[in-house]
Amino acid sequence: MTELFHSASDDQFALMGCAAALLTSGLLMYLSYFVGPVAREERQQAMQRLVQQRQKLVADNMREIPREKAA
């Protein structure tokens, strides 16, 4: 592998640099999706759905609990 770097021409170094730059920028774009505003909004919507589901379950359970009345 090190022999490749010693015997590479200037054009080959330029191509390796371009490939490294493309891979790096692709990785940064991939990571930014999980940190950016779109992901934040998706997490917030998912949390709201979970809260609504929990509220519905609690309301359903409250209806099912038999209420005993004092005589």
**pLDDT tens digits along 17-68:** 999 999 999 999 998 888 888 888 888 999 999 999 999 998 888 876 666 6
Domain membership of residue 49 (yes or no) is yes
- Single pTM value for the model: 0.51
Domain membership of residue 19 as a residue range: 2-63
Q: What is the number of domains present in the chain? A: 1
Give the per-residue pLDDT at 14.
92
> What does the pLDDT read at residue 6?
78
Rounded Cα distance, 35 and 17, in Å: 27
CB proximity list for 16: less than 8 A, separation 6 or greater? 8
In a domain, 9, yes or no: yes
Higher pLDDT, 66 or 7: 7
